[in-house]
């Protein structure tokens, strides 16, 4: 298990203040930094998911997925029966030299996020843009799933 800084919602006791002081004074943020535990721990500490926002805009769904540092060509977006799946296959190579030691890391990973939308999507008119590390999807609903205004008649 990786160490994480705990933020309590309970009022601090003298014992908890002592431990907070101890870790802040002697360990500080170095304890929670990526390089303290080494490169293997730092790659494990990164989340394997990206935050996603889904909004119903009436005639379409708008999806935003945070995916910084990814080439737009790496995205694989699929829509099937209202299930939207975004896949990214990533490969990177990093080389670091410090104090005469050479460290070369090759990593690869995958990001997969799916969301089931409550209405059928018109996949032929779907749009995707990638800007400032955020993938934005505009997924129009099929005509039968769009909201309609019904007028009430009087007799």
pLDDT tens, residue order, the chain (155 aa):
445 555 556 566 777 777 676 666 665 555 555 445 454 444 444 445 688 999 999 889 999 999 888 888 989 999 988 899 999 887 766 777 777 777 766 667 778 889 998 888 898 999 999 999 999 999 999 888 777 888 999 97
Q: Contact at 8 Å (CB) between 85 and 57?
A: no
Reported pTM: 0.57
Domains and CATH numbers, the chain: 12-46 (no CATH), 47-145 (2.60.40.790)
Q: How many alpha carbons lie under 13 Å from residue 86 in its C-beta half-sphere? A: 24
Chain-centroid distance, C-alpha 136? 13
Token match 């805009």: residue? Answer: 57
Instruction: List CB contacts of 151: < 8 A, sequence separation 6 or more.
Output: none
């Amino acid at each position: 298990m990786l160490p994480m800084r705990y933020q309590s919602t309970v009022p601090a006791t003298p014992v908890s203040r002592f431990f907070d002081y101890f870790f802040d004074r002697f360990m500080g943020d170095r304890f929670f930094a990526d390089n303290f535990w080494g490169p293997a721990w730092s790659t494990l500490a990164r989340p394997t998911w990206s935050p996603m926002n889904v909004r119903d805009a009436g005639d379409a769904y708008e999806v935003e997925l945070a995916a910084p540092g990814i080439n737009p060509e790496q995205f694989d977006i699929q829509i099937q029966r209202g299930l939207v799946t975004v896949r990214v296959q990533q490969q990177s190579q990093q080389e670091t030299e410090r104090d005469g030691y050479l460290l070369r890391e090759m990593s690869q990973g995958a990001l997969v996020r799916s969301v089931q939308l409550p209405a059928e999507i018109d996949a032929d008119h779907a749009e995707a843009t990638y800007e400032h590390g955020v993938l934005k999807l505009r997924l129009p609903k099929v005509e039968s799933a769009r909201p309609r205004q019904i007028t009430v008649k009087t007799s």
